Amino acid sequence: MTTGVRRPRAEPVHPYDPAMPGRKGKVLVAMSGGVDSSVAAAILLREGYEVVGCFMRLGSPGETLDELTPADEACRAGPGPQARAIKIGHQGCCSITDAADARAVAAELGIPFYVCNFKKDFGRIIDYFVDEYTAGRTPNPCVRCNDWLKFGKLHDYARQIGADFIASGHYARVAVDADGSPALLRGIDHAKDQSYVLFGAPRERLREMLLPIGGLHKPQVRDLAKQYGLPVFDKPDSQEICFVPDNDYAGLVDRRRPDAAREGPLLDAAGRRIGTHDGQHRFTIGQRRGVDISLGYRVYVVDKDPATNTVTVGPRELLAADSCTAGEANWLADPPPVGEWTPVFAKFRYNSTPVPGRVRRLDDDPAPTPSGRVGLFQVQFDSHQQAVAPGQALVLYDLNAPERVLGGGWIRSVVRIPQQPTVYPHSQAPDDAPTRGVC
């Protein structure tokens, strides 16, 4: 894989041609009402694309899902007196304020603007999120949303309106490899890099993806928004999962899966019961904050079992992982031969730094998966890694060209370092000790 992959050039797949304004093609921009997607639309307009804005109405958990608006009946608000008002309910994971902001930006830019009702489709992502926590895994709904909606369902809509490209405000880049094939690269601003959440985009669709702000740093994006007169230039970034606006993901799981909200034993590393928790779905592997138990040393969630509803806590060294196996593989470069180890950088959390290791492709697993992909691979880390958890996305980067995304998958199992935990003296807590943690 690495040995046959040439270093990608820095040129964009669709270079700007100032001599042909308006002739670059039609692009549908996913506009969330934030500064990043707004600047993305403005840049593309100035580069000569025919830009159409689109706000994805996704709905919110607990509300009644209404009929999905057909693409050819999507509500439009564009420049001119014939533009119709957008009717958006007060409910929704992207708030009515976000929708109004996106519309205001479109009006400022003078571009057509549509609202796509994806509420029924988004229900699939909420179900995935809840099911993963119920099954004891750590989900990443943003990756699934990009796979299934932004660069999935939205592509179908783009084709219906005759758009050639889909664009978003992600901090990542699409470039041309030496052999002419497209490559997904990290954003220039590594502090904001979002290539991790885009690994699931089908390789054949990279040519249709435009990521205009991937070559900018965040302060530059805000400066451009102000320069372009966009009303969202100083709007704060969203820090929450869009369909959990109160950040109470455990409460969402409780409401969707009432049987998950039941007490269970809290164990120490030796298997002794030291307390009680309100449901294993309220904890994630590696969690320390919110683990309300005092053992005389810092404790972390080191294991949990949804079948028995048990949560195990222990010292940090019990989190050390040697390797992991991932399924639903999506390769954005030619995959390595089955069984052959290839050096890579691997990233297993959104906010973590890619770490060196090696990957080995395994035989496909034909069992059904959420994405329908059957590829399987194993990653062995060069050094022990902390808090690698099933359910997380595992993204691979080229060792020789670390900006390039080779592919990724979803962690199924983790091999932790075999070791005897340090035995710390502590008082035995009563069975009904009030212990609860929320990530």
The per-residue pLDDT for range 157-188, each reduced to its tens digit, is: 999 999 999 999 999 999 988 888 999 999 99
Contact between 193 and 403 (Cβ < 8 Å): no
pLDDT of 117 higher than 80:
yes
pLDDT above 90 as % of the chain: 69
Q: What share of the chain is helix, strand, coil (3-state, %, to 5)?
A: 25, 25, 50
Coil, strand, or helix at residue 337? coil
**Confidence label for 434 from pLDDT (cuts 50, 70 and 90):** very low
Distances (CA, A) of 402 to 170, 263, 302, 307: 18, 45, 31, 40
pLDDT tens for each residue of 217-269: 999 999 999 999 999 999 998 777 878 867 889 999 999 999 999 999 999 99
* Residues marked as catalytic: 145, 242
pLDDT of residue 23: 67
**Confidence label for 44 from pLDDT (cuts 50, 70 and 90):** very high
pLDDT of residue 420: 54
pLDDT of 278 higher than 50:
yes
Task: Tell me how far apart the alpha carbons of residues 297 and 310 are, in angstroms, rounded to a whole number.
Answer: 21
pLDDT of residue 419: 61
The mean pLDDT of 371-378, rounded to a whole number, is 96
pLDDT tens for each residue of 413-429: 999 987 655 544 443 33
The mean pLDDT of 390-411, rounded to a whole number, is 97
The mean pLDDT of 346-362, rounded to a whole number, is 96
How many residues does the structure list for the chain?
439
Contact between 347 and 355 (Cβ < 8 Å): yes
Indicate the pTM of the whole model.
0.84
More confident residue, 153 or 355: 355
Complete domains list, the chain, with CATH: 26-227 (3.40.50.620), 266-313+432-439 (no CATH), 318-416 (2.40.30.10)
pLDDT of residue 213: 98
pLDDT of 362 higher than 60:
yes
pLDDT of residue 386: 94
pLDDT of 315 higher than 60:
yes
The residue written with tokens 């509300």 in the block is 63
pLDDT of residue 163: 96
pLDDT of residue 95: 67
pLDDT tens for each residue of 335-347: 999 999 999 999 9
On average, the pLDDT of the chain sits at 84
Task: Tell me how far apart the alpha carbons of residues 296 and 427 are, in angstroms, rounded to a whole number.
Answer: 9
DSSP string, 196-237: GGGTTS-GGGGGGEE-TTTTS-HHHHHHHHHHTT-TTTTPPP
